[in-house]
């Protein structure tokens, strides 16, 4: 494994090379510190690489005999498409039916953040979030819906700004219980009118 300083120097060198290859002058005033800034940004936005998403779900509690659905919605995320290394972003909505354990609600935001801190595709991100919750809490069921706007589709290629993608993963009781799915969908609509 490379040292942090060596890794930063390599990334800076590549960024300088990219700037040169697109016809820019990496020594002009506005670009002089760009390789350093990009290297620092990559360290931050890809800090989840190699970290198991389940590690975000610490500190579970007894479920207090809670028998309803728990929904945490509108969790913002920002990540990078692994195909073009440009951003996609949106909101994550999580619903689960606890079995014996519940978890601090802020842990869901941390889970979303951790899965977003790596080159990503929306489908995998949705599955990783769902699997982590299902594996750690062993709930009766979990449903995760992710909305995303992909700059690789909006700003380049087909250039369709305003388009969005929705991915959904259902596990446990959500796989076959349409009334639970409708309840989850209604909870997403509440407060949006």
- The pLDDT profile of the chain, 193 residues, written as one tens digit per residue, is 557 788 899 999 999 999 999 999 999 999 999 999 999 999 999 999 999 999 999 888 887 778 899 999 999 999 999 999 999 999 999 999 999 889 999 999 999 999 999 999 999 999 999 999 999 999 999 999 999 999 888 887 777 777 899 999 999 999 999 999 999 999 999 876 5
Please, where are the H alpha helices in the chain?
Answer: 4-21, 34-45, 106-116, 122-137, 151-154, 178-189
Non-local (6+) Cβ contacts of 176 within 8 A are: none
**Residue 60, Cβ density class (10 Å: 0-12 exposed, 13-18 middle, ≥19 buried):** middle
CATH class, domain 58-189, is alpha beta
Determine contact, residues 114/131, Cβ cutoff 8 Å. no
Domain segments of the chain as ranges: 4-45, 58-189
Provide the CATH topology of domain 4-45.
GTP Cyclohydrolase I; Chain A, domain 1 (1.10.286)
Show which residues are catalytic: 81-84, 122, 150, 152
pTM above 0.85, yes or no: yes
């Amino acid at each position: 494994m490379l040292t942090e300083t060596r890794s930063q120097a390599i990334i800076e060198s590549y960024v300088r090379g990219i700037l040169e290859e697109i016809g820019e002058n990496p020594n002009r005033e506005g670009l002089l510190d760009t390789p350093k800034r990009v290297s620092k940004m990559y360290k931050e936005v890809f800090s989840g690489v190699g970290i198991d998403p389940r590690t975000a779900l610490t500190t579970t509690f007894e479920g207090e005999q809670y028998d309803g659905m728990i929904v945490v919605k509108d969790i913002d995320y920002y990540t990078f498409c692994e195909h073009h290394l440009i951003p996609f972003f949106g909101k994550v909505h999580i619903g689960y039916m606890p079995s014996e354990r519940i978890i601090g609600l802020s842990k869901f935001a941390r889970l979303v953040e951790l899965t977003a801190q790596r080159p990503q595709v929306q489908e995998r991100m949705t599955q990783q979030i769902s699997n982590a919750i299902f594996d750690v809490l062993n709930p009766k069921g979990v449903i995760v819906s992710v909305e995303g706007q992909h700059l690789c589709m909006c700003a380049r290629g087909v250039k369709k700004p305003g388009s969005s993608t929705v991915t959904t993963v259902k596990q446990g009781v959500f796989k076959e219980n349409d009334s639970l799915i409708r309840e989850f969908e209604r909870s997403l609509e509440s407060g949006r009118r």
